[in-house]
Amino acid sequence: AQKITQTQPGMFVQEKEAVTLDCTYDTSDPSYGLFWYKQPSSGEMIFLIYQGSYDQQNATEGRYSLNFQKARKSANLVISASQLGDSAMYFCAMRHPSGGSYIPTFGRGTSLIVHP
């Protein structure tokens, strides 16, 4: 069964420093997509970044980058130059084939707190 593991329930980082949030996944499908979402205390889910299983280069979106190590089945999110507004829950997710479509499986999330 497909699985997403986020081993860090909580992380702390100083403002302006970089932080890495870990995510490992388990699938036997060759085609899949990896996503990171941010959920602030207000509750909404915000899409951050995507990495396809066939993508050769690591995805980047502004201060977010995805460190994709396919052989290790890891898709860690790197946030550079942390800001106070980055304090939130972060979810790693994988879209994988199921019944002719693709469905998502989410990790349990990592709570990030950015200190001034």
Partner 1 sequence: DSGVTQTPKHLITATGQRVTLRCSPRSGDLSVYWYQQSLDQGLQFLIQYYNGEERAKGNILERFSAQQFPDLHSELNLSSLELGDSALYFCASSVEGGRGAYNEQFFGPGTRLTVL
Residues binding partner 1 (CB under 8 A): 31-33, 43-47, 50, 52-53, 91, 95-96, 98-109
User: Of 45 and 84, which has the nearer Cβ to partner 1?
Assistant: 45
Q: How far is the CB of 106 from partner 1 (least distance, A)?
A: 4
The distance of Cα 69 from the centroid of its chain, to the nearest Å, equals 13
The distance of Cα 99 from the centroid of its chain, to the nearest Å, equals 25
CB atoms inside a 10 Å sphere around CB 32: 19
Q: How far is the CB of 45 from partner 1 (least distance, A)?
A: 4
User: Of 13 and 94, which has the nearer Cβ to partner 1?
Assistant: 94
User: Of 13 and 93, which has the nearer Cβ to partner 1?
Assistant: 93
CA atoms within 13 A on the CB side of 87: 12
Asked if 96 and 32 touch (Cβ cutoff 8 Å), the reply is yes
Q: How far is the CB of 35 from partner 1 (least distance, A)?
A: 8
